[in-house]
Amino acid sequence: MAVMEKRSWTDERLDDLNQRVDTGFKETREEFRALRGEMKSEFQAVRGELSGQIAALHRATFQLFAGMIVTLVLGFAGIIVTLFVQA
User: Around 44, how many Cα atoms within 13 Å sit in the side-chain half-sphere?
Assistant: 6
pLDDT value for 1: 53
pTM above 0.85, yes or no: no
Which pLDDT tens digit goes with each residue over 10-49? 888 888 889 999 999 999 999 999 999 999 999 999 999 9
pLDDT value for 14: 86
Cβ within 8 Å of residue 7, ≥6 positions away: 13
Average pLDDT over residues 54-83: 96
Helical (H) or strand (E) element with 10: none
pLDDT value for 2: 59
